[in-house]
Structure 1
Amino acid sequence: MAENNAENSEVSGRVKAIMCQPCFNYDKQTKAEKFCPTCNEFQCLDCSKVHYTHAFLKSHKLVNANEAKTKQGSFDMKGLDQCDQHQKVLEFFCEDENQLCCSTCAFLYHRKCHSVVEILKVTGRSTNTKSTLKVKMEEVRQKAYKIVDSIVSSKEKLDEDAKEIPVKIRRMRDDVMKMFDELEVSVVKDVQSFRKETLEKLSIKQSQNEKYLADIKACLKTIDGVYQKGSLVQQFIVEQKMKNDVNVLHTNVDAECHDLKTVTVSFDFDETLKLPPLSVTDYIPGQLTLKFCLSEVASTIVPVNKAMILTPVKSIDLKQKEDDVKEPLYSGIDFLPDGRLVAVDNKNKKLLVYNEKLEKVGSYQLSYMPQSVVAVCDEEVAVTSANKFKLDIFNVNKSNDIKLDRTIKVKTEYGSICQKDDKHFVGGTIDHSTPFRIISSTGEEKDFNISFPNKSYPLGTSACTYIRSSDKVVLTDRYEHTVYIYDVKTNTRVVVKDDQIKEPCGVAVGSSDTILVCSKGTNSIVQISQTGQILSSYKIDMELPRTICVSRDKSFLAVTGGCVGKIKLQKLKISY
């Protein structure tokens, strides 16, 4: 029986015939002459003819059966061999674009490509791909294991640290109780010693005064008796004899009376030990520290607060033009999202537009002296005025045409302005009880929930900006040489005073939400972290810088300022 089983036996010198699979399905034994890689079948000549009679099979490329050494496996590709767009079998590979293609993709999208070949013909070229993919995937897997191990270790360490904290507190409590026990022993010992010594002194004083009382009693008894029963001679003798004794007693008792003291003993805690209703964290000595440590996997992460590097890109002198009444003074500048720059000329009452090369491409004549400008969206800006109690919203289209879109009426005078969110502004006030306020797009005004010192700012003495990510407002105080960072969430503030900050004016939010301030007195731009740390100070080629803005992608800043005859507008690139 074993000799007749062609499937399982191998006879020396005999070549095992490859049979046609379609015929085998009908219990026919026919030798295979062809192999279709797409169908993954060995076929006889008759069965293979269907590839020429059916249109959908004509793209299949047949090879001789003896050229296909072994039949391809029946691995389930789970759709990987199908075109995502046309759901057809992937048969071609575009070497120009490094893409797999079905017949439709090859015809529609790769006709102009120079090298579109059948997948079957390029499979032999990528002998190292398998090993390369496995090596790369093994590297990825090792990194993933490392990350998981690091996270598991971190979680375990976190659990250990969390369990240790109450242990430390209980240990501290025991130490404190031990300290109080020792304090009690020491104080009681001192009290008892003081009490003993003082009682001895008081007892002596008491005995002495009790003796005085006995002498006084005897004297009074003698005096009363002689006045009741004695003669005048007897009375006179007693008075003379006892006069000296009475004087001595009077002197002694009077001295004791003047030296009379009430002795007490007490023990009190001083003010360093605070008591409720203050928060427990105010009077318990202890500190909870939360700390994240970077693992080796994440060691390449760039620190957030890096010192910036400014590289000059373009600088222009702002000269008085023929249509200008005075030398220009740009009191407000801002970047539009597309990189153009808008500016307001306070002295000549203009709204201006500059392209990326700082070429003036648009101008609009205003009827008032503008104070500041902020880009609201792609083609919309808002302009403030000192005494007009309004915000004007202008449309600035791609052709640099400017037109007034609408006016927002307000009840407060505003100098600086920035966006809080899509529907609100933050405006720096002029001569108001609060230095900055929230303004809605409909003109409603309200204050932040922040406690401010009792101080108002005249025009030109302060500016503000808003940090969205942390809900903080930054305020410059020009003549106090100070920058304040107000945290709205906690109603706290950081006060920044430094020799590098003199007459701070304009302020903007830079990369990583650091703060950029024009230091007018030092002709520089100072970079400050949100915690108040001075990160860098950059001297610029300009006298008295006063207004600053940062592009939307945080890659450029613009600054303007100067003195009479030397007004400049500069653009600088930000890098780290």
Structure 2
Amino acid sequence: MATVEKHGFKRDSAGDFIGEFSVTQSCEPCMKTNVSKTATFNCNDCDEFLCDACKNPHTVYKGGKHDIVKCRDRKSVPVGVGMKGLDICQEHDKEIEFFCHDHSKLCCSKCLFIHRKCDHLDDINNESGQKRHELHELKQLFIKLKSDADAIIAQCKKSELSLDGSVAEISSVIDTMRDRIIKLFEDAKQKLLSGAIDFKISEVRRIGNKLEAASKLKEEILKELAMFCDILENGTPIQQYIYAIKFKEKLNTVELNLNKQDAINISSIVTVSFPKELTTLLEMGNNFIQLHCGGNKTVGIQSHKRIISTLANHP
């Protein structure tokens, strides 16, 4: 079993500690008995804090010279910190005094019995000075971790602001696309109406020509019918014979002209049609818009983008 030697309890400068620990000056002999009392004196020779009750026993029962001064008179007084129970053994509720390297465990005097056969058991009073450099390194590591945490927090806040902005922009993007589609429909409507009006003017002209030609033929037919009736009732047989020959020739001419007018096709209605992509879009209902979260599509189907693009760029 490794031998251990108990030395006086020491405290390093509180200026090397940061965080939530509050700086205090406690009586060290009292702390060894788990009693917390404020130190009012310090022995410069022993580098030990003392309360009023422990001052005299310290000089009487502890050998050597003792330069005892009041704490406020000491130019550089090392102070302790409230350890929030970190310096107390959780198993035995006693002050931690040793460190077992074999088990990497902080130990109190009762733990010493369990670790008595360990090969590397140190009194932390002897080894504490060696940890100062390591504590500085740990402090720098924690400062680096704090910096990393700050970076993550800043990134989270930036992402949240970006998310707020992108969500707010959705309405504007949709409104822009809606306005483009409405303009597309309005332009198409005006173009179609203009074409329909031009077509109507053309067809009305053709209808007028056909109507005029048919009306003239009708007048000619009525004229011939009147002549036909007069000859039939009042004409002589010779007149009737001659007119019958002439009427056959006239009948063929009129019939030929009527057939020619009848063969002229006139459009009486006009209609419109829409692209298949548009009817497909209408069948989709309100699911035709896609939502992308982090680059992934979460709403809608892949063909929607093609449909929207077709509508937006349709001539």
TM-score between the two structures when normalised by the length of structure 2: 0.68
* Residue 95 (structure 1) aligned to one of 94, 98, 101: 101
- Contact 1:83/1:90 (8 A) holds in 2: yes
State the 1:130 CA deviation. 2.8
2:244 aligned with 1:239? yes
SS in 1 for 2:261: helix
State the 1:240 CA deviation. 2.3
State the 1:214 CA deviation. 0.7
SS in 1 for 2:172: helix
* Residue 279 (structure 1) aligned to one of 280, 285, 293: 285
RCO comparison, higher one (Cα < 8 Å, 6+): 2
SS in 2 for 1:289: strand
Q: Residue 103 of structure 2 aligns to which amino acid in structure 1? A: E
2:238 aligned with 1:230? no
State the 1:20 CA deviation. 12
Q: Aligned residue for 2:214? A: 209
CA distance in 2, matches of 1:91, 1:83: 9
- Unpaired segments ≥5 residues, structure 1: 1-18, 23-28, 52-60, 294-576
CA distance in 2, matches of 1:202, 1:33: 126
State the 1:269 CA deviation. 0.3
Aligned counterparts, 1:254-333, within 5 A: 254-274=259-279, 276-282=282-288, 287-291=290-294
- Contact 2:98/2:121 (8 A) holds in 1: yes
CA distance in 2, matches of 1:33, 1:162: 67
CA distance in 2, matches of 1:239, 1:144: 117
Q: Residue 97 of structure 1 aligns to which amino acid in structure 2? A: H
Q: Aligned residue for 2:91? A: 85
CA distance in 2, matches of 1:292, 1:238: 93
Q: Residue 214 of structure 1 aligns to which amino acid in structure 2? A: E
Aligned counterparts, 1:345-364, within 5 A: none
Runs of 4+ residues over 4 Å off in structure 1? 19-22, 29-37, 39-42, 61-72
2:111 aligned with 1:105? yes
State the 1:160 CA deviation. 1.1
CA distance in 1, matches of 2:163, 2:28: 66
For residues 430-473 of structure 1, what are the alpha-carbon distances to aligned partners after superposition, in whole Å with 9 as ceiling and x for unaligned? xxxxxxxxxxxxxxxxxxxxxxxxxxxxxxxxxxxxxxxxxxxx
CA distance in 2, matches of 1:36, 1:224: 154
State the 1:128 CA deviation. 0.7
Aligned counterparts, 1:554-573, within 5 A: none
Q: Aligned residue for 2:143? A: 138
Q: Aligned residue for 1:183? A: 188
CA distance in 1, matches of 2:243, 2:42: 167
- Contact 2:99/2:122 (8 A) holds in 1: yes
Q: Aligned residue for 1:406? A: none
- Contact 1:34/1:44 (8 A) holds in 2: no
CA distance in 2, matches of 1:165, 1:225: 87
2:172 aligned with 1:167? yes
The structure-2 alpha-carbon separation of the partners of 1:21 and 1:263, relative to structure 1 and needing over 3 Å to count, comes to: closer
Percent of aligned pairs with the same residue? 24
Q: Aligned residue for 1:11? A: none
Count of matched residue positions in the alignment of Structure 1 and Structure 2: 254
SS in 2 for 1:208: helix
Q: Please give the root-mean-square deviation of Cα atoms over the aligned residues, in Å.
A: 3.8
The structure-2 alpha-carbon separation of the partners of 1:217 and 1:63, relative to structure 1 and needing over 3 Å to count, comes to: farther
The structure-2 alpha-carbon separation of the partners of 1:21 and 1:124, relative to structure 1 and needing over 3 Å to count, comes to: closer
State the 1:210 CA deviation. 0.9
CA distance in 1, matches of 2:42, 2:146: 47
Q: Look at both structures and tell me which one has the larger radius of gyration over its CA atoms.
A: 2
For residues 385-411 of structure 1, what are the alpha-carbon distances to aligned partners after superposition, in whole Å with 9 as ceiling and x for unaligned? xxxxxxxxxxxxxxxxxxxxxxxxxxx
SS in 1 for 2:110: helix
- Contact 1:94/1:113 (8 A) holds in 2: yes
* Residue 159 (structure 2) aligned to one of 139, 154, 160: 154
Aligned counterparts, 1:113-124, within 5 A: 113-124=118-129
- Contact 2:97/2:109 (8 A) holds in 1: yes
- Contact 1:35/1:41 (8 A) holds in 2: no
CA distance in 2, matches of 1:260, 1:91: 115
The structure-2 alpha-carbon separation of the partners of 1:135 and 1:31, relative to structure 1 and needing over 3 Å to count, comes to: closer
State the 1:46 CA deviation. 3.9
- Contact 2:43/2:50 (8 A) holds in 1: no
State the 1:253 CA deviation. 1.0
The structure-2 alpha-carbon separation of the partners of 1:33 and 1:188, relative to structure 1 and needing over 3 Å to count, comes to: closer
The structure-2 alpha-carbon separation of the partners of 1:292 and 1:139, relative to structure 1 and needing over 3 Å to count, comes to: farther
Aligned counterparts, 1:41-52, within 5 A: 41=51, 43-44=54-55, 46=57
Q: Aligned residue for 1:75? A: 81
CA distance in 2, matches of 1:20, 1:251: 136
The structure-2 alpha-carbon separation of the partners of 1:251 and 1:115, relative to structure 1 and needing over 3 Å to count, comes to: same
CA distance in 2, matches of 1:67, 1:117: 30
